[in-house]
Amino acid sequence: MKITGSQAIVKALKTEGVDCIFGYPGGAIMPTYDALHEERHNLHHILVRHEQAAIHGAVGYARATQKVGVAIATSGPGATNLLTGIADAQIDSIPVVCITGQVFSSLLGTDAFQEADIIGMSVAATKWNYQITDPNEIPEVFKKAFEIAKSGRPGPVLIDITKDAQTALMEYKQAQGNINGKWLHKPMIDMDEILRASELINNAKRPIVLAGHGVMLSGAEDSLLKLAEKANLPVVCTLLGLSSFPYKHDLYKGMLGMHGNYAANVLCNEADVVLAVGMRFDDRVTGKLDEYLNNAKIIHIEIDPSEIDKNVKADVGINSDAKEAIDALIPYIAEQNHETWHKEFADEHSKEVAAVIDDETNPISGDIKMAEVISLVSEKTNGEATIVSDVGQHQMIAARYYKFMSKNAHISSGGLGTMGFALPAAIGAKVGVGNKKEVIAVIGDGGFQMNLQELAVLRQENLNLKIIILNNSFLGMVRQWQQLFFESRYSHTEISSPDFIKLAEAYDINAQQVSKRENLGKAIDELLAAKNSYLLEVKVEQQENVFPMVPAGESISNTKLGIEE
């Protein structure tokens, strides 16, 4: 029996186990939407209010469920609106498949209405892309797309389909066998490298583990915990590595990076052996490369061979899946103590507690501080919620003060730093986990206004998503840099906002605003107790700065605990 190309697309999606799609219809993708109507009870379509939210939603879904996310859009502006989110997914290694409609193949290259060369535009931002003009290609192309998206280092794939390929009839033939290609190569563990790594770790006096996002992408959390406990290794996390290791464990020493914890940064540079797992040594982690890990032997476990030796030269480079490499390493690791080394972490951390943490979490006067809010949320959720943060000061505060105790529970835009990410990504995460887990979006007043229209999706889908807006009336991170490095010339960073409470209520979402410290705890209780989506706006200190901080271009050894007089 012959079916249309559009019906073949839907069939291919179902074959891959897809049960949820984020999208927005339009002319060039309309035949596929007609086919989706036939399967509306089997494929849940989330109608976003902007295509950028479709890709962010698919990313949030993928990160929360560890499945492949799917976004769909029409040609022209519909497709180009996906590009920022595709680039975001690529740098953060998120498996998503994007489907875009395209003009009739006979019109390609004629500048037809809503024609855009999305294949050419997305080459640098995708792991693979392909344009279908023949419907008979659909089964194999879709199988290949999903395998590429989730294999090796995950990433985004885009399939562009002309309108005539969607409407033409074809005989559907299931794609057979495995799809071959450079994207699907799975490296074999080199046991010689494993033995070299174990020797370095066993002889180390000041070892440290740097846990990146790849730990969670490979499901290596339990393996990492077992390794760390066996050798008593201090563990620190990158921004996207947060929630790969339990916050309250004695071996957890904090977050690395520009706004990371003081002890984690300073003592990382004093380690003699560094085990880096599933991370790429980006500039926000390393600071000044010439002064980074100069005294250490470096072991780098990484699934993407191009990342090994790219930024930091490894003494032992292990091109492997993180879980497989750690599991191979554990039998060769000796039990250790490192008591003196752990005491150094405690001593250095006490400096941050005295200079920063005590005042931020327990202020005795003044406006509410962002850290107060996050600390209370962490306490009241026992560190078990999924936190989806936007980009800016609040992102760093959420990363620093939420005590993640469950796995794979931190979702944020890391490498690209995409403002407007949190609300649609949180929607995607909530769709993915349902009522099994609390999902809380933490957003600044600036980033919220980039995609606030997605509030409509909450009511339409009857989601129970919790939103916290930390409103300081500034584009806070930029303002902080202007204060510290541009002599307090606040150029276009003070931002006015609508009444967020009335706005939420217009979308039929319960909301309240808090500006007094004595009302904060009760307001958070009401947020968490709500049976439907709820928005809490907290008016926080307007010109609060986020410390510790590594000034751009400086060594992580020069982590600052405050403004130097």
Rounded to two decimals, what is the model's pTM?
0.96
Q: Which of 16, 51, 352, 372 is catalytic?
A: 51
**Confidence at residue 565, expressed as pLDDT on a 0 to 100 scale:** 43
From the list 11, 144, 163, 466, the catalytic residue is: 163
Q: What does each of the 565 residues of the chain score in pLDDT, given as a tens digit? A: 899 999 999 999 999 999 999 999 999 999 999 999 999 999 999 999 999 999 999 999 999 999 999 999 999 999 999 999 999 999 999 999 999 999 999 999 999 999 999 999 999 999 999 999 999 999 999 999 999 999 999 999 999 999 999 999 999 998 876 665 655 667 889 999 999 999 999 999 999 999 999 999 999 999 999 999 999 999 999 999 999 999 999 999 999 999 999 999 999 999 999 999 999 999 999 999 999 999 999 999 999 999 999 999 999 999 999 999 999 999 999 999 999 999 999 999 999 999 999 999 999 899 999 999 999 999 999 999 999 999 999 999 999 999 999 999 999 999 999 999 999 999 999 999 999 999 999 999 999 999 999 999 999 999 999 999 999 999 999 999 999 999 999 999 999 999 999 999 999 999 999 999 999 999 999 999 999 999 999 999 999 999 999 998 999 999 999 987 4
Query: Which strand (E) or helix (H) includes residue 319?
Result: strand 316-319
Place of tokens 């229209």: 453
Enumerate long-range contacts of 43-46, CB under 8 Å, 24 or more apart.
43/10, 43/13, 43/14, 43/18, 43/19, 44/19, 44/20, 44/431, 45/20, 45/21, 46/20, 46/21, 46/22, 46/427, 46/428, 46/431, 46/457, 46/461
Residues 104, 114: contact at Cβ < 8 Å? no
Strands 156-162 and 128-132: parallel
Q: Identify whether 66 is a catalytic site residue.
A: no
Which CA distances in Å does 138 have to 354, 422, 469, 486?
61, 33, 43, 54
Q: Is 147 helix (H, G, I), strand (E, B) or coil?
A: helix
Q: What does DSSP say about strands 2-4 and 169-171: parallel, antiparallel, or unpaired?
A: antiparallel
Q: Which of 274, 228, 223, 269 is nearest to 251 (CA)?
A: 228
> Domain limits of the chain?
2-184, 191-344, 367-540
Whether 142 sits among the annotated catalytic residues: the reply is: no
Q: What is the pLDDT, as a whole number, of residue 185?
A: 65
Q: Return the axis-axis angle of helices 322-329 and 191-203, rounded to nearest 10°.
A: 60
Question: Which fold would CATH assign to domain 367-540?
Answer: Rossmann fold (3.40.50)
Pairing of strands 510-514, 534-539: parallel
Q: What is the pLDDT of residue 186?
A: 75
Query: Measured at the alpha carbon of residue 50, what is the angle toward residues 45 and 56, in degrees to the nearest 5?
Result: 70
Asked if residues 434 and 502 have their Cβ atoms less than 8 Å apart, the reply is no
Q: Are 549 and 560 in contact (CB under 8 A)?
A: yes
Is 113 among the catalytic positions? Answer: yes
What tokens were used for 408? 């794979």
Give, for 45, the enclosing helix (H) or strand (E): strand 44-47
- From 114, 453, 483, 512, active-site residue: 114
C-beta neighbour count of 354 within 10 angstroms: 11
Specify whether the CB–CB gap between 48 and 24 falls below 8 A.
yes
Tell me how far the alpha carbon of residue 531 is from its chain's centroid.
26
How would you write 356-391 as a 3-class SS string? HHHHHHCCCCCCECHHHHHHHHHHHHCCCCEEEECC
User: What's the fold here for domain 2-184?
Assistant: Rossmann fold (3.40.50)
β-strands 69-73, 20-23: how paired? parallel
Neighbours of 222 (CB within 10 A): 12
Domain 2-184 and domain 191-344, same fold? Reply is yes
- Residue 179 has a pLDDT of 61
The answer to whether the beta carbons of residues 259 and 395 sit under 8 Å apart is: no
Question: Which of 2, 14, 38, 113 is the catalytic position?
Answer: 113
Torsion of CA 286, 290, 291, 297, to 10 degrees: 80
Answer yes or no: are the C-beta atoms of 210 and 276 closer than 8 Å: yes
Helix (H) or strand (E) holding 208: strand 207-211
Residue found by looking up tokens 């409609």 in the block? 101
Helical spans, DSSP H, in 92-190: 118-122, 138-150, 163-167
Which pLDDT belongs to residue 180? 59
d(CA 126, CA 123): 6
Euclidean distance between CA atoms 319 and 326, whole angstroms: 12
Q: Is 137 a catalytic residue?
A: no
Tokens 């039998």 sit at which residue?
A: 331
Residue 291 identity (one-letter amino acid): E
Q: Is 163 a catalytic residue?
A: yes
* Residues counted in the chain: 565
The catalytic position among 279, 370, 477, 549 is 477
Exposed/middle/buried for residue 167 (C-beta within 10 Å: 0-12, 13-18, 19+): middle
CATH 1.10.760.10, domain 191-344, yes or no: no
